[in-house]
Amino acid sequence: MSHVTSRQLTLALGLCLGMALLPASAATTDTAFTAQVAHGSLTLAHGSDRIAIGFITPNTVRVHVLPNGESSPASIVIDPKAMPATLSDVKTRTAGGVTTLSTAAATLRWDARDGSLQFSDASGHVLLTQHGLGALADGKLSLDHAKGDPLYGIGGYNATEDASAGLLRSGTQKITAGEQGHAGAPLVWSTAGYGVLIDTVGGTFHLDGARIAASDTSRKDLDYYLIAGAPKQIFADVARVSGHTPLFPKWAMGFTNSQWGIDEKELLQIVDTYRARHIPIDNFTLDFDWKDWGNDWGEFTWNTTKFPDGPSGKLKQMLDARGIKLTGIMKPRVHVNTVEGREAAERGYFLKGNKPTKDYFSGKPVREIDFANPKARIWFFDHMKSAFKSGIVGWWNDEADNVGIDTQHLDMQRAIYDGQRAISNQRVWSISRNFYLGAQRYAYGMWSGDIHTGFASMAGQRARMLSAIDVGAMQWGMDTGGFTGGTPTPENYARWVQFGAFVPVFRVHGDSSQKRQPWIYGPTAEKAAAAAIRLRYRLIPYIYSYEDQRRLTGVGLVRPLTFDWPNDPKVRNDVASWMFGESLLVSPVVEQGQTSKTIYLPAGQWTDWFTGKRYAGGRSVTLAIDAKQWSDIPLFVRDGAIVPTQPVMDYVGQHPVTQVDVEMFPAAQRTSFDYYDDDGTTYAYEHGAYFRQPLSLQRTADGVQVETGAVEGSFTPALKFYLFKVHGGAATTVTADGKALPHAASVDALDDGNGEGWTTGTDRFGAVTCVRVNAAQARTLALVWGHAAM
């Protein structure tokens, strides 16, 4: 344990509290910070106040201010089950009034001479400096950083707000979940290499270009985290503190059709039309129509006039036979003059101060449930059990953003998540209309609210999505096609579905009686939209593997370009393009009648997914756009890409996947991809019942090396073979662990065989070598090129 001298502590006190410095002889011991280092952490004391400082991960320091030594409970932002303990294996040093705590990734420096805390990265570069620690006891935080550092996070945009500011954040920013479509978090971060997370529900950030300040936070004992690292590292540590996401069911990787204004007969007709046209779909979501809304228990029970086979489970059986999951809307309120309304009133489950208002749908008075009340949450789901057991297997939580409570939507979904997990091992799926950090722990997706139709609205969804992801709302979706404003044009619909195919939650929806099926918009739009949906289904193995990665790493399927190129100033506020996993860059067409589109490609080598044309990165390229048939999606493959695909099916799991075709684009540097699978429906993966196999790829002096690593997990999938399509050359020999593999005359001959082998050919990307090997085995494959195409 180390102590700072009396003279040093007196100087620290004066500077930290903004007071005139007193001579040493005038100082008294009860007005000085004392510093103690023990077990790798630092404690500063001033009278009865304490500031506890310590690393909780190699990249993250926690600073907890304890007025009078007292701590209050953590907010919903912090995951009590995942919160890491303070690291003890931290290097500490005290010399000349300076105490340092350091790991391999970051250093915290307390200087008693000027009363500053300095947070640096592994190279010693100062990221954040904090002066005035005395103000922390008043809940005020101030951190200096390099002038001009780009800042992100804090919040996104509501459904109707102008989103033209993009992703960068400056000025005064309210910390809130906000109105419909908004995503918020007490998190601000920079591509300069740091993040600041505060444990608060509500408050304000003030960003002035060289300082991050926070005020009006919800806890007297200010509790915050300083994170060092690139964006992916920042979100990894945010997930360690705020909680990881459970997996959505595998069917949720597919396509969802929502509709308001429907009955059982029309539902089955629509589903049968999807199947007859072989347009893939997994989920149909019902609006108000499924409920007996306004009658006793009608908030939770079927409308038997419209859905006579709902309560018995017969409708579920009919949809199961068609490969369709059924999800339904839920509202945060109940009617006052009903059995459940009177029960909620008697038990104190209504939100205090929330007076009865006239419901716009039923015309009857309703009140909002207080979902912060644990008993109200249990009560709410208890009445949902019959709907769940009879066939509503997913939840669309609407309108809990109308009461000005940041955690109302979060707690509504918390009621459903905790309730469903208590009675079933079936995975929870939900979407809600706003987001506050912490919600991700409850199988929480969000959508961007009641947005307008039209190209301008569609274009604005890009900034809404990426800014939501910038605060940790990784499972994001939208009303593809637009909700209000009538019927989109065929072109708008087709282009919007292409956009929607490359977002985490792929869903179409419209206002009352609006239909969003592809065939409604004519043959040209149907062809373009159906092709985009089929491409989504071809990529299911790729997409589902990123479901696993999001759970493990905190970073989801979609990520802004800043996540991979944090030092490229040209992507700082780019919302036109984003990464879809590590390997694919997409830039959907969002302008009416567009005939050409200029796209910035970051550093690296890129290949057009559809044409095979190659481009050098670090510059903008211009593509011709099909303004007549709307047949193209600007989609680029990154060098080093590993993209597993499967045959297109009408729904996820329609047929066992016994072979996964893996598109590979070797680069000079080694790249890897963890292929993931599990049963897709239960939480058995939490107990090790999953299949995860690393695949790696690297160009060598004479060809390419492909590796399949050791399998993790106890789940055995249907998968028997990988067919590696290695682009860039035609091999003359292929060996597995030094032994030659048999050669096949063609890809068809290879596919028709019963075992391993290889062949060569050409496709839209040029020369290709196809290698078929057994899955679930650790192997090293060596391909020796005869000639190279790139």
Round to whole Å and give the CA distance between 642 and 666.
Answer: 8
Q: Are 192 and 149 in contact (CB under 8 A)?
A: yes
The SS3 of residue 91 is strand
Of residues 49, 287, 398, 639, which has the active-site annotation?
398
- Burial of 75: CB neighbours in 10 Å, binned 0-12, 13-18, 19+: buried
Tokens coding 730: 């035609």
Number of Cβ within a 10 Å radius of residue 630? 25
Sign of the four-CA dihedral 179, 182, 188, 190: negative
| CA angle centred on 517, ends 399 and 543, rounded to 5° | 75
Whether 608 sits among the annotated catalytic residues: the reply is no
Q: Are 470 and 496 in contact (CB under 8 A)?
A: no
Of residues 49, 292, 370, 450, which has the active-site annotation?
450
Round to whole Å and give the CA distance between 550 and 247.
Answer: 9
Residue type, 73: P
Residue type, 74: A
Tokens coding 507: 């869903």
Round to whole Å and give the CA distance between 334 and 342.
Answer: 10
What separation, in Å, do the N-terminal and C-terminal C-alpha atoms of the chain show? 61
User: Which residue has tokens 């939580």?
Assistant: 397
Of residues 149, 221, 223, 401, which has the active-site annotation?
401
The region that residue 663 occupies, defined by phi over 0 for left and psi between -120 and 50 for alpha, beta otherwise, is: beta
Whether 450 sits among the annotated catalytic residues: the reply is yes
Number of Cβ within a 10 Å radius of residue 709? 17
What per-residue string of b and e applies to 133-170 under the rule 16 or more CB within 10 Å gives b?
Answer: bbbbbebebbbbbeeebbbbbbbbbbbbbebeebbebe
Q: Are 759 and 743 in contact (CB under 8 A)?
A: yes
Round to whole Å and give the CA distance between 463 and 756.
Answer: 46
Whether 199 sits among the annotated catalytic residues: the reply is no
Q: Are 564 and 602 in contact (CB under 8 A)?
A: yes
Question: Among all residues, which ones are annotated catalytic?
Answer: 398, 401, 450
